[in-house]
Amino acid sequence: MSRLLIVEDETVLRTDLVDYMCLNGFEAVGVGTAADMHVELAGAEPPDVIILDISLPDGNGFELAKDIRAGLNCGIIMLTAHGDPESRVQGFDSGADIYLVKHTSLREISAAVQSLLRRLAPETEEAAPLPQWHLDATAWKLLAPDGKVIRLTATENTFVSTLIEHSGETCTRDELSQILSPRQTQFDNRHLDAVVSRLRRKIIGNTSVEQPIKSVYGVGYSFGAPAKINHKQPA
Protein backbone atom coordinates (compact mmCIF):
# COMPACT_ATOMS: atom_id res chain seq x y z
CA MET A 1 0.00 0.00 0.00
CA SER A 2 1.42 3.38 -1.03
CA ARG A 3 2.05 5.81 1.81
CA LEU A 4 1.16 9.49 1.55
CA LEU A 5 2.19 12.36 3.81
CA ILE A 6 -0.12 15.37 3.56
CA VAL A 7 1.40 18.61 4.87
CA GLU A 8 -1.44 21.14 5.08
CA ASP A 9 -2.25 23.66 7.82
CA GLU A 10 -5.95 24.04 6.89
CA THR A 11 -7.57 21.50 9.19
CA VAL A 12 -10.69 20.86 7.11
CA LEU A 13 -8.77 20.38 3.85
CA ARG A 14 -6.16 18.18 5.54
CA THR A 15 -8.86 15.98 7.10
CA ASP A 16 -10.76 15.72 3.81
CA LEU A 17 -7.59 14.74 1.95
CA VAL A 18 -6.58 12.11 4.48
CA ASP A 19 -10.07 10.59 4.55
CA TYR A 20 -10.45 10.59 0.77
CA MET A 21 -7.02 9.10 0.13
CA CYS A 22 -7.61 6.35 2.68
CA LEU A 23 -10.94 5.53 1.01
CA ASN A 24 -9.05 5.21 -2.28
CA GLY A 25 -6.62 2.62 -0.95
CA PHE A 26 -3.72 4.75 0.26
CA GLU A 27 -2.14 4.87 3.68
CA ALA A 28 -2.41 8.62 4.38
CA VAL A 29 -1.07 10.66 7.29
CA GLY A 30 -1.75 14.38 7.71
CA VAL A 31 0.26 17.04 9.57
CA GLY A 32 -0.23 20.78 9.87
CA THR A 33 3.29 22.14 10.40
CA ALA A 34 6.80 21.79 9.05
CA ALA A 35 7.96 20.57 12.46
CA ASP A 36 5.45 17.73 12.44
CA MET A 37 6.47 16.89 8.87
CA HIS A 38 10.09 16.47 9.96
CA VAL A 39 8.95 14.18 12.78
CA GLU A 40 7.07 11.98 10.29
CA LEU A 41 9.99 11.93 7.87
CA ALA A 42 12.29 10.78 10.65
CA GLY A 43 10.21 7.63 11.03
CA ALA A 44 11.24 4.20 9.84
CA GLU A 45 8.98 4.17 6.75
CA PRO A 46 9.31 7.16 4.41
CA PRO A 47 6.33 8.24 2.32
CA ASP A 48 6.02 7.44 -1.36
CA VAL A 49 4.46 10.84 -2.11
CA ILE A 50 4.29 14.08 -0.13
CA ILE A 51 1.45 16.53 -0.78
CA LEU A 52 2.91 19.84 0.33
CA ASP A 53 1.37 23.26 0.99
CA ILE A 54 3.54 26.33 0.35
CA SER A 55 2.35 28.58 3.19
CA LEU A 56 2.84 26.82 6.52
CA PRO A 57 2.88 28.54 9.93
CA ASP A 58 6.48 27.53 10.56
CA GLY A 59 7.97 26.98 7.12
CA ASN A 60 8.08 27.83 3.42
CA GLY A 61 6.99 25.01 1.15
CA PHE A 62 9.50 25.91 -1.56
CA GLU A 63 12.42 25.56 0.86
CA LEU A 64 10.93 22.43 2.40
CA ALA A 65 10.64 20.85 -1.05
CA LYS A 66 14.35 21.47 -1.67
CA ASP A 67 15.21 19.77 1.65
CA ILE A 68 12.93 16.83 0.86
CA ARG A 69 14.36 16.39 -2.63
CA ALA A 70 17.92 16.48 -1.27
CA GLY A 71 17.28 13.78 1.31
CA LEU A 72 14.47 11.51 0.09
CA ASN A 73 13.57 9.61 -3.05
CA CYS A 74 9.84 10.32 -3.11
CA GLY A 75 7.28 12.17 -5.20
CA ILE A 76 6.33 15.75 -4.33
CA ILE A 77 2.98 17.31 -5.20
CA MET A 78 2.58 20.98 -4.31
CA LEU A 79 -1.01 21.91 -3.42
CA THR A 80 -1.36 25.63 -2.88
CA ALA A 81 -3.52 28.69 -3.38
CA HIS A 82 -0.73 30.32 -5.43
CA GLY A 83 -1.62 29.61 -9.05
CA ASP A 84 0.40 32.30 -10.82
CA PRO A 85 3.11 31.25 -13.33
CA GLU A 86 5.97 32.57 -11.18
CA SER A 87 4.91 30.39 -8.23
CA ARG A 88 4.49 27.38 -10.52
CA VAL A 89 7.99 27.85 -11.93
CA GLN A 90 9.40 28.29 -8.43
CA GLY A 91 7.62 25.11 -7.37
CA PHE A 92 9.23 23.07 -10.15
CA ASP A 93 12.60 24.71 -9.41
CA SER A 94 12.22 23.60 -5.79
CA GLY A 95 11.75 19.98 -6.82
CA ALA A 96 7.99 19.49 -7.20
CA ASP A 97 6.88 16.79 -9.64
CA ILE A 98 3.32 18.13 -9.92
CA TYR A 99 1.90 21.57 -9.04
CA LEU A 100 -1.82 21.87 -8.20
CA VAL A 101 -3.98 24.74 -6.95
CA LYS A 102 -6.38 24.30 -4.05
CA HIS A 103 -9.60 24.49 -6.06
CA THR A 104 -8.56 21.14 -7.61
CA SER A 105 -11.08 18.44 -6.71
CA LEU A 106 -10.19 15.56 -4.40
CA ARG A 107 -10.74 13.18 -7.29
CA GLU A 108 -8.21 15.06 -9.44
CA ILE A 109 -5.68 15.11 -6.60
CA SER A 110 -6.07 11.35 -6.15
CA ALA A 111 -5.60 10.85 -9.91
CA ALA A 112 -2.44 13.00 -9.79
CA VAL A 113 -1.05 10.86 -6.96
CA GLN A 114 -1.77 7.66 -8.87
CA SER A 115 -0.17 9.08 -12.03
CA LEU A 116 2.93 10.13 -10.11
CA LEU A 117 3.24 6.72 -8.44
CA ARG A 118 3.10 5.03 -11.85
CA ARG A 119 5.94 7.24 -13.07
CA LEU A 120 7.99 6.53 -9.96
CA ALA A 121 7.50 2.77 -10.21
CA PRO A 122 10.30 0.71 -11.83
CA GLU A 123 9.79 0.41 -15.57
CA THR A 124 8.96 -2.98 -17.08
CA GLU A 125 9.57 -4.27 -20.57
CA GLU A 126 5.84 -4.11 -21.26
CA ALA A 127 5.48 -0.48 -20.24
CA ALA A 128 3.90 1.72 -22.91
CA PRO A 129 6.21 4.28 -24.49
CA LEU A 130 5.97 7.76 -23.00
CA PRO A 131 4.94 10.78 -25.11
CA GLN A 132 7.93 12.26 -26.86
CA TRP A 133 9.22 15.83 -27.26
CA HIS A 134 10.93 16.94 -30.46
CA LEU A 135 13.50 19.71 -30.78
CA ASP A 136 13.96 21.31 -34.19
CA ALA A 137 17.46 22.59 -33.51
CA THR A 138 17.65 24.32 -36.89
CA ALA A 139 14.41 26.31 -36.53
CA TRP A 140 14.79 26.77 -32.74
CA LYS A 141 11.40 25.16 -31.99
CA LEU A 142 10.46 22.71 -29.23
CA LEU A 143 7.46 20.54 -30.11
CA ALA A 144 5.49 19.22 -27.12
CA PRO A 145 3.83 15.76 -27.18
CA ASP A 146 0.42 17.46 -27.58
CA GLY A 147 1.58 19.19 -30.77
CA LYS A 148 2.07 22.64 -29.27
CA VAL A 149 5.15 24.59 -30.42
CA ILE A 150 7.44 26.54 -28.09
CA ARG A 151 9.68 28.99 -29.93
CA LEU A 152 13.17 29.25 -28.43
CA THR A 153 15.93 31.82 -28.29
CA ALA A 154 19.43 30.80 -29.37
CA THR A 155 20.49 30.31 -25.74
CA GLU A 156 17.35 28.29 -24.90
CA ASN A 157 17.87 26.16 -28.03
CA THR A 158 21.43 25.34 -26.97
CA PHE A 159 20.33 24.63 -23.39
CA VAL A 160 17.53 22.23 -24.42
CA SER A 161 19.74 20.56 -27.04
CA THR A 162 22.42 19.93 -24.41
CA LEU A 163 19.95 18.35 -21.97
CA ILE A 164 18.41 16.10 -24.64
CA GLU A 165 21.83 15.01 -25.94
CA HIS A 166 22.64 13.92 -22.38
CA SER A 167 19.33 12.10 -21.90
CA GLY A 168 19.27 10.06 -18.71
CA GLU A 169 22.04 12.15 -17.19
CA THR A 170 22.23 15.34 -15.17
CA CYS A 171 24.06 18.27 -16.72
CA THR A 172 25.84 20.18 -13.99
CA ARG A 173 25.44 23.91 -13.58
CA ASP A 174 29.12 24.46 -14.37
CA GLU A 175 28.92 22.41 -17.56
CA LEU A 176 25.85 24.27 -18.76
CA SER A 177 27.37 27.67 -17.93
CA GLN A 178 30.48 26.80 -19.93
CA ILE A 179 28.43 25.65 -22.93
CA LEU A 180 26.23 28.74 -22.90
CA SER A 181 28.96 31.26 -22.05
CA PRO A 182 29.93 32.12 -25.67
CA ARG A 183 26.45 33.62 -26.04
CA GLN A 184 26.72 35.95 -23.07
CA THR A 185 29.60 37.62 -21.27
CA GLN A 186 30.27 36.37 -17.72
CA PHE A 187 27.56 33.70 -17.88
CA ASP A 188 27.07 32.50 -14.30
CA ASN A 189 24.52 30.64 -12.14
CA ARG A 190 22.28 33.69 -11.97
CA HIS A 191 22.11 33.88 -15.77
CA LEU A 192 21.53 30.11 -16.00
CA ASP A 193 18.61 30.27 -13.54
CA ALA A 194 17.11 33.14 -15.55
CA VAL A 195 17.29 31.07 -18.75
CA VAL A 196 15.60 28.10 -17.04
CA SER A 197 12.86 30.25 -15.50
CA ARG A 198 12.03 31.94 -18.82
CA LEU A 199 11.97 28.60 -20.63
CA ARG A 200 9.70 27.02 -18.02
CA ARG A 201 7.30 29.96 -18.27
CA LYS A 202 7.16 29.46 -22.04
CA ILE A 203 6.41 25.75 -21.66
CA ILE A 204 3.76 26.34 -18.99
CA GLY A 205 2.17 29.07 -21.08
CA ASN A 206 2.03 27.05 -24.30
CA THR A 207 1.22 23.47 -23.31
CA SER A 208 -0.49 21.53 -20.54
CA VAL A 209 2.04 18.68 -20.82
CA GLU A 210 4.11 18.05 -17.71
CA GLN A 211 7.19 20.27 -17.36
CA PRO A 212 10.17 18.32 -18.82
CA ILE A 213 12.97 20.52 -17.44
CA LYS A 214 13.88 18.91 -14.13
CA SER A 215 16.00 20.40 -11.36
CA VAL A 216 18.48 18.12 -9.60
CA TYR A 217 18.96 20.04 -6.39
CA GLY A 218 22.52 21.17 -5.82
CA VAL A 219 23.75 19.62 -9.09
CA GLY A 220 22.08 20.94 -12.24
CA TYR A 221 19.31 20.09 -14.71
CA SER A 222 18.06 17.19 -16.81
CA PHE A 223 15.40 16.61 -19.48
CA GLY A 224 12.91 14.35 -17.74
CA ALA A 225 11.00 13.01 -20.76
CA PRO A 226 11.74 11.09 -23.99
CA ALA A 227 12.94 13.48 -26.70
CA LYS A 228 14.59 13.62 -30.13
CA ILE A 229 16.59 16.32 -31.89
CA ASN A 230 16.20 17.15 -35.55
CA HIS A 231 19.40 18.72 -36.90
CA LYS A 232 18.27 18.56 -40.54
CA GLN A 233 19.31 21.57 -42.55
CA PRO A 234 16.79 23.19 -44.90
CA ALA A 235 17.11 22.26 -48.58
**What's the pLDDT score for residue 216?**
82
- Of 154, 156, 184, 5, nearest to 79 (Cα)? 5
pLDDT at 234: 45
Per-residue pLDDT of 156-199, as tens digits, reads 999 999 999 998 889 999 999 888 886 555 677 788 889 999 99
CATH 3.30.420.250 fits 133-230, yes or no: no
Please tell me the predicted confidence (pLDDT) of residue 29: 94
Q: Domain spans of the chain?
A: 3-120, 133-230
Residue predicted with more confidence, 122 or 161: 161
CATH: 3.40.50.1220, 3.40.50.300, 3.40.50.720, 3.40.50.2300. Which one for 3-120? Answer: 3.40.50.2300
What would the mean pLDDT of 111-140 be, rounded to a whole number? 80
Same fold, 3-120 and 133-230: no
Query: CB within 8 A of 26, min separation 6: which ones?
Result: 1, 2, 3, 4, 113
Residue 235's pLDDT band (boundaries 50, 70, 90)? very low
**Element containing residue 10 per DSSP (H, E):** none
pLDDT given for residue 148 in this prediction: 92
